Structure 1
Amino acid sequence: MSRWIITFIIFSIVICFLEFYAFQALKTITKNKIIRLVWIVAAIAIYAYFLYVIYITPRSAGQTNSFQLAAGFMLTFLIPKLLLVIIMFGEDVFRVFRKGYSWVTPGETAVFESRRIFIAKIALGLAAIPFASFIYGIVQGRYNYKVLKYQLTFNDLPDAFDGFKITQISDIHSGSFTNKEKIQYGVDLINQQESDLMLFTGDLVNNMATEMDDWIDVFKTLDAPFGKFSVLGNHDYGDYVEWDTPEDKVKNFQAVKDLHPKIGFDLLLDEHRYIEKDGQRLALIGVENWGKGFNQAGNLAKASSEVGKDEFKILMTHDPSHWEYKVKADDFNYHLTLSGHTHGLQMGIEIPGWFRWSPSQYIYKQWAGLYQEFGRYINVNRGFGYHAFPGRVGIWPEVTVIELKKGTQNV
Structure 2
Amino acid sequence: MHDPRVLGAGEGVTVGARHRALAEQVFPRAEDPPDVAVPDRRAPRLPGGQGHEASRERRPDPRVIGALREAGPRVGGVAQLGPNGTRASASGLRPRSAAFTVEPSRMASSLVISLITTSTLALTFPVAARALRPVAPRDGRSLGLVTLGVVAVAVGVEVFGRTLAPFGGGPLRVLIGAVRVSVLLLFGCLLLVVAAELLGRALGVATWVAARSRTLPVEHLTTRMESRRALLTQATTAGALAVGAPVFLRGGLWSRTDFEVRTIEVAIAGLPAELEGLTLVQLTDLHLGVFTGPREIGAVIDRVEALRGDLVVITGDILDHNPRHIPEAMRALSRLRARGGVHAILGNHDHYTGPAKVAQGLRSVGIRAHINGSMSLGPDGASGRGLILAGVDDVMAPRIGTGAGPDLAAALRGRDPDDPVVLLAHNPVLFDDVRHRVALQLSGHTHGGQINTFGVAGSLLPYVSGLYRRGDASLYVSRGIGTTGPPVRLNAAPEIVRIALTARTPRAS
Aligned AA (2:412)? S
Q: What TM-score do you get using the length of structure 1 for normalisation? A: 0.76
Greater CA drift, 134-143 or 123-132: 123-132
Q: For the residues of structure 2 that align with 1:271 and 1:141, how far apart are their CA atoms? A: 36
Q: 1:271 pairs with 342, 364, 373, which one? A: 373
Q: For the residues of structure 2 that align with 1:17 and 1:206, how far apart are their CA atoms? A: 27
Displacement of 1:260: 1.0
Aligned AA (1:228)? V
Displacement of 1:197: 1.4
1:238-290: CA deviations, max 9, x gaps? 37xxxxxxxxxxxx543221111233311112111111379763110111122
Superposition pairs of residues 323-402 of structure 1, within 5 angstroms: 323-324=431-432, 326-328=433-435, 330=436, 333-349=437-453, 356-358=455-457, 361-362=459-460, 364-402=461-499
Does the 8 A contact of 2:256 with 2:488 survive in 1? yes
Q: For the residues of structure 2 that align with 1:254 and 1:117, how far apart are their CA atoms? A: 57
Q: For the residues of structure 1 that align with 2:133 and 2:258, how far apart are their CA atoms? A: 37
1:206-232: CA deviations, max 9, x gaps? 234431222333221112112211111
Cα 1:122–1:235, aligned 2, differ >3 Å: closer, same or farther?
Answer: closer
Match of 1:281? 386
Q: State the SS of the aligned residue for 1:152.
A: strand
Match of 1:205? 319
Q: For the residues of structure 1 that align with 2:148 and 2:491, how far apart are their CA atoms? A: 28
Q: For the residues of structure 1 that align with 2:398 and 2:449, how far apart are their CA atoms? A: 18
Displacement of 1:235: 2.0
Q: State the SS of the aligned residue for 1:276.
A: coil
Match of 1:319? 427
Displacement of 1:314: 0.2
Q: 1:26 pairs with 132, 136, 145, which one? A: 132
Aligned AA (2:185)? T
CA RMSD, 1 decimal: 4.1
Displacement of 1:41: 9.5
Displacement of 1:305: 1.5
1:163 aligns with 2:260: no
Does the 8 A contact of 2:168 with 2:291 survive in 1? no
Q: What TM-score do you get using the length of structure 2 for normalisation? A: 0.63
Structure (1 or 2) with the larger CA radius of gyration: 2
Displacement of 1:45: 5.7
Displacement of 1:120: 5.1
Q: For the residues of structure 1 that align with 2:323 and 2:309, how far apart are their CA atoms? A: 28
Q: Which consecutive residues of structure 1, in runs of 5 or more, have no partner in the other structure?
A: 29-38, 240-251, 350-354
Displacement of 1:315: 0.4
Q: What is the total number of aligned residue pairs between the two structures?
A: 375
Q: For the residues of structure 2 that align with 1:58 and 1:188, how far apart are their CA atoms? A: 28
Displacement of 1:99: 2.7
Cα 1:118–1:256, aligned 2, differ >3 Å: closer, same or farther?
Answer: closer
Does the 8 A contact of 2:121 with 2:186 survive in 1? no
Aligned AA (2:182)? F
Does the 8 A contact of 1:22 with 1:81 survive in 2? yes
Greater CA drift, 121-130 or 397-406: 121-130
Cα 1:259–1:58, aligned 2, differ >3 Å: closer, same or farther?
Answer: closer
Q: 2:407 pairs with 286, 299, 313, which one? A: 299
Greater CA drift, 309-318 or 258-267: 258-267
Cα 1:122–1:232, aligned 2, differ >3 Å: closer, same or farther?
Answer: closer
Match of 1:183? 297
Superposition pairs of residues 29-108 of structure 1, within 5 angstroms: 46-53=150-157, 68-69=176-177, 70-105=179-214, 106=216
Cα 1:258–1:306, aligned 2, differ >3 Å: closer, same or farther?
Answer: same
1:77-130: CA deviations, max 9, x gaps? 322442343234322322232233333344997997679757854663355333
Q: For the residues of structure 2 that align with 1:125 and 1:271, how far apart are their CA atoms? A: 53
Displacement of 1:42: 8.3
Does the 8 A contact of 1:46 with 1:73 survive in 2? no
Cα 1:23–1:73, aligned 2, differ >3 Å: closer, same or farther?
Answer: closer
Does the 8 A contact of 1:230 with 1:267 survive in 2? yes
Q: For the residues of structure 2 that align with 1:58 and 1:399, how far apart are their CA atoms? A: 27
Greater CA drift, 190-199 or 47-56: 47-56
1:278-326: CA deviations, max 9, x gaps? 97631101111224983552211110112222211100111112223x2
Displacement of 1:64: 11
Displacement of 1:18: 4.8
1:316-349: CA deviations, max 9, x gaps? 111112223x212x3xx20100111222342114
Displacement of 1:150: 1.8
